[in-house]
C-alpha cells in the first residue's frame, strides 16, 4: 500500500512539478476527485467485500459506507483521497490489505 502511494506521488510530481519557479499553493486533499455512490456500490460488489471491510480499507465505519451508497451523506475531501486509493485496488490487493489469505 505504501509502495502504491509512493508511486502515485511520483506520478503527481512529474505532472505538476514543471518549473514554474514561483511559490504555488499546494492542492487541497481530494481536489479534483469526484464521488458517485453507484460507483462505490459497484466497486464494493466487484471486490466482494462487506461494507465493514470496505470501510476498513477507506478508514471509515460500515455505517458511513452505507450512508454514502444511499446518498444520505458524501465523503469529505480527505475521505475522497482514501476512496480513490481503494478504487485503484483489485480483489487480490484488497484482500491482502485486509490481511486475509
Assign residue 84 the CATH number of its domain: 1.10.260.40
Is 64 within the bounds of a domain?
yes
The model's pTM is 0.66
Is 97 within the bounds of a domain?
yes
Is 96 within the bounds of a domain?
yes
Is 7 within the bounds of a domain?
no
Is 10 within the bounds of a domain?
no
Long-range contacts of 33-37 (CB under 8 A, 24+ apart): 33/77, 33/80, 33/81, 33/83, 33/84, 35/68, 35/74, 35/75, 35/80, 35/83, 37/68, 37/69, 37/70, 37/71
Task: Give per-residue pLDDT as tens, 31-44.
Answer: 667 888 888 899 99
Residue 69: Cβ within 10 Å count: 17
**Boundaries of domain holding 50:** 32-101
Is 79 within the bounds of a domain?
yes
Overall domain count for the chain: 1
Q: Per mean pLDDT, which range of 10-14, 22-26, 77-81 is the poorest?
A: 22-26
Amino acid at each position: 500500500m505504501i509502495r502504491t502511494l509512493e508511486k502515485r506521488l511520483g506520478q503527481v510530481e512529474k505532472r505538476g512539478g514543471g518549473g514554474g519557479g514561483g511559490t504555488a499553493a499546494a492542492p487541497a486533499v481530494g481536489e479534483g476527485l469526484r464521488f458517485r455512490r453507484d460507483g462505490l456500490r459497484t466497486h464494493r460488489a466487484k471486490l466482494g467485500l462487506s461494507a465493514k471491510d470496505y470501510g476498513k480499507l477507506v478508514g471509515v465505519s460500515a455505517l458511513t459506507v452505507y450512508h454514502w451508497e444511499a446518498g444520505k451523506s458524501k465523503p469529505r475531501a480527505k475521505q475522497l483521497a482514501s476512496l480513490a486509493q481503494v478504487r485503484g485496488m483489485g480483489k487480490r490487493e484488497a484482500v491482502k490489505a485486509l490481511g486475509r489469505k
